[in-house]
Structure 1
Amino acid sequence: MQNNHLAELQSWFNAYTRSFLTGDPKKDSAHQLKIDHTARVCENIRLLATSIGLPENQVRIAEAVALLHDVGRFEQYKRYGTFNDRKSVNHAALGVEIMKKTGVLAGLSDDEQKQIVDAVRFHNAPSLPSGKPSEELLFLRLIRDADKLDIWKVFADYYRFDNEPETAIVQHLPDQPTWAPSIIEDIANRRMARFSHMETLNDFKLLQLSWVFDLNFPETFVQAKQRGDLAVIAGTLPDAPDLRHAVGVVMEELEVKGKRG
């Protein structure tokens, strides 16, 4: 991918996402959050791609993936008023549909189009798809890590500044002093928890902590440790023995794998 191709995608994305804004900050807050999120995920993915020595043309493909990974979120929220895929539509699949309908990738080679489409399609899947070429899986691993880094930041920043998270972002989950034992069990067994087991805001926090078991690159662990977002999120959980144990498992994983060099 050439510089001009990435610039054209950025121009399209800016125009497309602006079309959802009304000028009313309250009405636009959810969409603006996703615009800002996308910009930071682009920065994250460039950092990760550079850390593994990808050539610049592949770094640009990775950045295009980051730019478009949540393009379905805007139409999703417009239609359903939520970012909860289970209560609306799979935003990744919707994003692929939008890319194909608009022809935004038409200026790219067939291989580049396929790499971007597949990375967007599976960026929110429970696990990596099987049977994909290694290069396609590389871009998918990059976007999954880059996305997680910023989702942690978004939530941690709310808690850092004593704000309530955007309702749409926490998927309208109730803030109750309960949590799912199945998610605690997943963390204890060092595996990523499942969205289907999530019922409360505490479950969502635990689910996010469990993402440390689904990271792909050493630099992702380094960045996660340095930024401190996981510790902030963990600090908002109730003080209970099983939660303390779960947090300890997560932080141990981060400590061991987050050492540079």
Structure 2
Amino acid sequence: MVEVQATEGKGLEDGLRAEAGAERRKKIIMKIDLEGTKRWFEGYLQGFELSDPMLEMKHLHSYEVMKLGERLTAALGWDEDRSRVGVAASLLHDIGRFSQYRDFKTYHDGDSIDHGDRGAAVLEAEFPRTLADSEAREAIIEAVRWHNKKELPELDEAVAPFCLLVRDADKLDVFKLVQRCIDEDRVEELLPRHKPGEPLSEVLLEEVERTGKGSYKNAASLLDYLLIQLSWVGDMNFVPSLRLLKQSGVLESIFEHFPMDDARVASLLDRLTAPCRSA
């Protein structure tokens, strides 16, 4: 068993511990039909109005996360079978979002359902068993279930790396997605609860200073959301993930929104992003 608790400064340690059992995991054969999985995913989505910009955005996001999963598994040196499973889990990670938006017209889990749990339920009920063996199927379902959770439980070492991979790949694309929406003046469409132009929440600021993480319940402004995003840096699990984030330049774009002349804020942001600078 591998303990993968997502606490401040623990992300890389979790990733290293998840990789430490690589030799043992080589004995666990995972098989998946990746191309068949892509076709099934597209077939599943035919039941939704993909012409809706909010659903189209999640459709595109799914493939961007899949591409990041491909890059990360290659950088991590995963074998071909495990890489296919990781890529499939990355593609399917947000499958619960489509029925969430159809049923509730929101992507805010607090006002609807936990989209990771919904996604796992969708896969358990509908993902064909002919496309993946039982080990690959379990790894994908658990990666989808846990990709959005603030804290992770103790996970089986055969499943843990896939959970960590998907969490990293998802965060990397969400960083870019939010900045793109800001640049295109569409951020209120994506984040209707987080108002541009409003100051940082003192409650959230104190929480992040104390714990290294922030709760969405304490976030009301765009700055609050961006602060929570910066807290994700310490939750990255693999060095290649940090390197991709560093190369993207997105952190510098986020910094532009903050009052960097405020010593308290500048010090906190420096601490939150330190793992990326050292990658």
Work out whether the TM-score is over 0.5.
yes
C-alpha deviation, 1:226, in angstroms? 0.5
Aligned residue number for residue 245 of structure 2: 224
C-alpha deviation, 1:58, in angstroms? 0.2
2:149 is equivalent to residue 150 of structure 1: no
Aligned residue number for residue 86 of structure 1: 110
Matches within 5 A, 1:141-220: 141-159=164-182, 161-165=183-187, 167=189, 169-188=190-209, 191-220=212-241
Aligned mate of 1:55, from 68, 71, 79: 79
Matches within 5 A, 1:104-119: 104-119=128-143
- State the percentage of identical aligned residues: 27
Give the secondary-structure state (helix, strand or coil) at the position aligned to 2:41.
helix
Aligned mate of 1:64, from 56, 65, 88: 88
Counterparts in 2 of 1:137 and 1:187: CA distance versus 1, 3 Å: same
Aligned residue number for residue 21 of structure 1: 49
CA distance in structure 1 between the partners assigned to 2:85 and 2:244 by the alignment: 22
C-alpha deviation, 1:201, in angstroms? 2.0
C-alpha deviation, 1:106, in angstroms? 4.4
CA distance in structure 2 between the partners assigned to 1:143 and 1:68 by the alignment: 10
Pairwise CA RMSD of aligned residues? 2.0
C-alpha deviation, 1:64, in angstroms? 1.0
Residues 73 and 95, structure 1, Cα contact 8 Å, conserved in 2: yes
CA distance in structure 2 between the partners assigned to 1:252 and 1:107 by the alignment: 41
C-alpha deviation, 1:175, in angstroms? 2.9
Aligned residue number for residue 128 of structure 1: 152
What stretches of structure 2 of length at least 5 have no aligned partner?
1-29
Residues 96 and 117, structure 1, Cα contact 8 Å, conserved in 2: yes
What stretches of structure 1 of length at least 5 have no aligned partner?
none
Aligned mate of 1:11, from 36, 39, 43: 39
User: Which has the larger displacement, 41-50 or 240-249?
Assistant: 240-249
Counterparts in 2 of 1:240 and 1:106: CA distance versus 1, 3 Å: farther
CA distance in structure 2 between the partners assigned to 1:79 and 1:205 by the alignment: 27
CA distance in structure 1 between the partners assigned to 2:94 and 2:50 by the alignment: 20
What letter is aligned with 1:67? L
Deviations 1:205-234 (A, max 9, x none): 110011001011010111101001122122
Aligned residue pairs, count: 249
Give the secondary-structure state (helix, strand or coil) at the position aligned to 2:159.
helix
Deviations 1:44-75 (A, max 9, x none): 11111111111010000001111111001011
Deviations 1:7-61 (A, max 9, x none): 11100111222431264xxxx1111111111111011111111111110100000
Give the secondary-structure state (helix, strand or coil) at the position aligned to 2:113.
coil
Q: Taking structure 2 as the reference length, what is the TM-score of the superposition?
A: 0.82
Aligned mate of 2:254, from 223, 228, 233: 233
Counterparts in 2 of 1:186 and 1:134: CA distance versus 1, 3 Å: farther
C-alpha deviation, 1:113, in angstroms? 1.2
Residues 37 and 88, structure 2, Cα contact 8 Å, conserved in 1: yes
What letter is aligned with 1:104? P
User: Which has the larger displacement, 149-158 or 228-237?
Assistant: 228-237
CA distance in structure 2 between the partners assigned to 1:73 and 1:30 by the alignment: 10
Aligned residue number for residue 250 of structure 1: 272
Aligned residue number for residue 138 of structure 1: 161
What letter is aligned with 2:149? A
Residues 214 and 231, structure 2, Cα contact 8 Å, conserved in 1: yes
CA distance in structure 2 between the partners assigned to 1:81 and 1:234 by the alignment: 31
C-alpha deviation, 1:149, in angstroms? 0.4
Give the secondary-structure state (helix, strand or coil) at the position aligned to 2:232.
helix
